Amino acid sequence: MKILILLFITFTTLAYECVLNGFNFSSIHSEIEDYSFFQDNGIITYVNPCGRLLYDYLVNSTSPSPDYSVLTIDVDDKIDLMGLTSSEHLKDKKDYVEFKYSSSVSCSATENYETKVKVYCSKDVQDSIFYVKYDDSDCEFEVKMYHSLVCKYIESKQTSSTHPHPDDHDDDDDDDDDDDDFPVVGIILLLILLSSICLYLIIGAVVNVLLFKRRGIAVIPNYVFWLSLPMLIKDGCKFIFCCKKPSPEPFYEEAPDQDFADMQF
Ligand SMILES: *[C@@H]1O[C@H](CO)[C@@H](O)[C@H](O)[C@H]1NC(C)=O
Ligand SMILES: *[C@@H]1O[C@H](CO)[C@@H](O)[C@H](O)[C@H]1NC(C)=O
């Protein structure tokens, strides 16, 4: 239990410190200026992940400053805290990194907005934020932006995937295609083999019945071999996997002669 609590604390601390899969994102936090976006409808969005915004809307207030990494100001100077720093959670989304926050702005009677800041890779950008959207259907506030740190993160993932690392969970995609192709070929070959065996058995049985007038189990072509096959496989497996000599038991120990003899072809 102590270990679990310790792990939980370590995990949440790491999440709060902006570390994702061992990659430290804390330098995404700008100490000079918040990332901002001015929309046509006059709403300004400020974002500064991995810490609090520099923009302080409580300049002359005596109340303790709440933590906020994302906020919006509308034309009437109404301020909405869209991302609470303490709720920040990083997620790897393959081609972008998601910084998820809970907000203090209600979307419906029971729900607050959930804010997702999706940071994409770009080495050279003028406006780091390029897209802001409210989605009232699922109470989501979405911000898309660029940062070069995400390029470094994606690069570090790629280098670690060529040298597999036990901590990587998301790097298996390139290999998945190969894994998908292999069984398809195998299954086709297996089907061809099985249908050949069926064809061989059917034709052999027909020939045995019509040409040689055989009845009962003798209808199966080479039935002595087929009857002994399970035992042959069993002994083969024993020999391969158990590093033992083949069992000295006789081949026909369990041969169900009676059952087979009842079959008519
Ligand atoms: C991440 O880097 C910052 C400095 O850029 C440092 O203060 C912080 O301790 C680092 N976090 C971890 C978990 O290494
Ligand atoms: C904050 O206080 C300073 C003086 O302490 C004052 O000059 C300024 O106008 C105040 N700002 C607001 C928004 O009230």
pLDDT confidence of 95, banded at 50, 70, 90? very high
Dihedral sign, Cα of residue 255, residue 259, residue 261, residue 264: negative
> Distance from first CA to last CA of the chain, Å, rounded?
66
3-state helix, strand, coil in the chain (%, to 5): 40, 20, 40
Helices (H), the chain: 2-16, 148-162, 173-210, 223-241, 257-262
Tokens 């590093």, residue located: 243
Q: What percent of the chain has pLDDT over 90?
A: 41
Tokens of 4: 């679990």
Question: What is the dotted CATH code of the domain comprising 2-171?
Answer: 2.70.130.10
pLDDT confidence of 121, banded at 50, 70, 90? very high
Centre of ligand 2 from the C-alpha of residue 62, in Å: 12
149-181, pLDDT tens digit by residue? 999 999 998 888 776 545 444 444 443 333 444
pLDDT confidence of 60, banded at 50, 70, 90? low
Q: Is the CB of 59 under 6 A from ligand 2?
A: yes
- State the average pLDDT for the chain: 79
177-236, pLDDT tens digit by residue? 334 445 777 788 889 899 888 888 888 888 888 888 888 878 777 877 777 877 888 887
Residue closest via CA to ligand 1's atom 3 equals: 26
Question: Ligand 2, from 56, 60, 62: best to mutate by most atoms within 8 Å of Cβ?
Answer: 60
Give the pLDDT of residue 160.
81
Torsion angle of the four alpha carbons 40, 42, 48, 54, in this order, in degrees rounded to the nearest 10: 150
Within a 10 A sphere around the Cβ of 25, how many other Cβ atoms? Answer: 21
Rounded Cα gap, residues 189 and 183, in angstroms: 10
20-47, pLDDT tens digit by residue? 999 999 999 999 999 999 999 999 999 9
From the CA of 60, give the closest atom in ligand 2.
Answer: 1
Q: Is the CB of 15 under 6 A from ligand 1?
A: no
Pick the closest to residue 25 from 84, 99, 94, 81 (CA basis): 99
Give the pLDDT of residue 15.
45
pLDDT confidence of 138, banded at 50, 70, 90? very high
pTM, 2 dp: 0.56
Give the pLDDT of residue 62.
54
Give the pLDDT of residue 230.
79
Give the pLDDT of residue 100.
97
Query: Do the Cβ atoms of 75 and 44 come closer than 8 Å?
Result: no
Show me where the domains of the chain are located.
Answer: 2-171, 176-262
Query: Do the Cβ atoms of 21 and 158 come closer than 8 Å?
Result: no
**With 70 as the cut, is the pLDDT of residue 118 above it?**
yes
Q: Is the CB of 24 under 6 A from ligand 1?
A: yes
Residue closest via CA to ligand 1's atom 9 equals: 17
Within a 10 A sphere around the Cβ of 44, how many other Cβ atoms? Answer: 16
Question: Ligand 2, from 55, 59, 77: best to mutate by most atoms within 8 Å of Cβ?
Answer: 59
